[in-house]
Structure 1
């Protein structure tokens, strides 16, 4: 099997390339930084996995146009090349943020998309272009919407909580019960490999670990990885919300927006991809994946 991967130098690309190589998949890495990539699309390949893109800038200082040039326009160019090629499968790595910035119950693939950020909007515009094209016979297209991906080498938001726990600082928001979905890089690699091997229907597929984790459970998991005892403080919600309200007026570190980000739920369903592949559960539990990531922080 021969597979083309864009964005191979990123966290997901590096890990996925290594994993597939160990599964005897022939990997061809293609950079989209200049137009030379068009001559490097190997017609004899079996699949294209499009990972390259502009990541979400949580500090919100990026030029909005960049999201559309990279996440939408480049994706459209690559997809058009795929349509006229002999390659059979196209994987586009979108994001759950293309569907929703907030989730009430559980995010499924049939939700009416309502992205808020330019990152999410650029992703959904690329998705819409792809899904509106007529596929030649024998071709399959998979739009992957992963939730927050983690693994050794990619700290992300987990590192903020890790530093808090490592310093022995108690978690003061234990009175808030939320649930969030994560995705370990090991489960991501497994799912892509299975999709390459099996001929499942084209469509949109959410990627997430089997179980969602509350922030309190995440704090406990970090403590387990560090061999520490968790310090969870259940301070009155009303008091915390009052402090956050003062934070809005006095420009304090804790304000209502930050409190919302720390305590809101974002649960993502992975049932569709598991049903399509005929599997009951992913190889790694959410806790196993998180512990592996967290332990890697200690080696830095």
Structure 2
């Protein structure tokens, strides 16, 4: 794969930046990085920056796709905390469906060999029953607009693959964490680091998570492995933990004991629902497990980092960031 050029969309984001660093610095591959801000300066001379004004059905990708062998499409319209649109699904479709298909069609016409689409576990659904993890080939059951748009993009990509020579690989990550993580995971680390008592000491669910390094490693594997062509893969660390276990492990990684109060789960669910926080309640108290045995069987791939190693790396970055 040493002579290939990889285009990475979303290359300045959490996942895309880590992938770009792995490809350009560690593997010394040529990377094309589409960005909106022409002032962006890449860290590696192996990265060629091209300006792209947006991601929709009208975006012209010709100059960005010149000489590109493979594409990793990680850019997307993601979950919006304070949605202002009267038709959220239409807004998600503009970027996640129409924008994705437009890029893929132009990529196929430009002779791109393989198109890796970073989808979401939300295509499978929002939660799993105990002992019944999602599998890659399960019937999809998305609930929210984001998940629906990702499924529709997957379907259109697979249809395009069937009529062109471009191979499509679909990867559905669960919650990604790692150095530089934001949102709820960062809030959790802040609470534990400050010694805030948390009412989550008796939660017995099972959640699949995935370290940033593990997602990047699977993407790199899928760029070159012949068996990855036209397949769907779920990705996790391969170790499921309860919310309580995650908090305790994170505390250990931060060298700070998590102060957990064992309140009844039913009580917290009632409170969350009364406050209109159903989605948060699901993430905290319900199970969401994935089966990654297909990755092992087809690709001989296992996650290189276990959860304790990955949490330690995440915590180290968090602590060093606070000092600097």
TM-score by length of 2: 0.82
CA distance in 1, matches of 2:212, 2:116: 16
CA distance in 1, matches of 2:162, 2:271: 55
CA distance in 1, matches of 2:78, 2:111: 30
Contact between 1:2 and 1:44, CA under 8 Å: does it hold in 2?
yes
Contact between 1:212 and 1:286, CA under 8 Å: does it hold in 2?
no
Q: After TM superposition, give the deviation of residue 33 of structure 1 in Å.
A: 2.6
1:292 and 2:313 matched: yes
* 1:170 alignment partner in structure 2: 197
* 1:9 alignment partner in structure 2: 12
Q: Alignment partner of 1:163: what SS?
A: helix
Contact between 1:245 and 1:256, CA under 8 Å: does it hold in 2?
no
* 2:63 alignment partner in structure 1: 40
* 1:267 aligned residue (273, 289, 293): 289
CA distance in 1, matches of 2:284, 2:180: 23
Deviations 1:231-286 (A, max 9, x none): 33333x2xx5246536655x4x9x7764443111111222212322213x321002
Structure 1 segments unaligned to the other structure (5+ residues): none
> Does the C-alpha gap of structure 1 residues 140 and 259 become closer, same or farther in structure 2, counting only changes over 3 Å?
closer
* 1:20 aligned residue (9, 20, 23): 23
* 1:154 aligned residue (178, 181, 184): 181
Q: Alignment partner of 1:188: what SS?
A: helix
* 1:54 alignment partner in structure 2: 77
CA distance in 2, matches of 1:103, 1:115: 12
CA distance in 1, matches of 2:226, 2:105: 22
Counterparts of 1:237-276 in structure 2, within 5 Å, are 237=264, 241-242=266-267, 244-245=269-270, 251=275, 258-276=280-298
1:226 and 2:254 matched: yes
Contact between 2:69 and 2:114, CA under 8 Å: does it hold in 1?
yes
Structure 2 segments unaligned to the other structure (5+ residues): 36-51
TM-score by length of 1: 0.88
CA RMSD, 1 decimal: 2.4
What is the count of residue pairs matched by the alignment? 293
Contact between 1:150 and 1:156, CA under 8 Å: does it hold in 2?
no
Contact between 2:169 and 2:222, CA under 8 Å: does it hold in 1?
no
Q: After TM superposition, give the deviation of residue 195 of structure 1 in Å.
A: 1.8
* 2:38 alignment partner in structure 1: none
Q: Structure 1 residues 28-37 or 183-192, which shifts more? A: 28-37
Q: After TM superposition, give the deviation of residue 13 of structure 1 in Å.
A: 1.3
> Does the C-alpha gap of structure 1 residues 183 and 244 become closer, same or farther in structure 2, counting only changes over 3 Å?
closer
* 2:49 alignment partner in structure 1: none
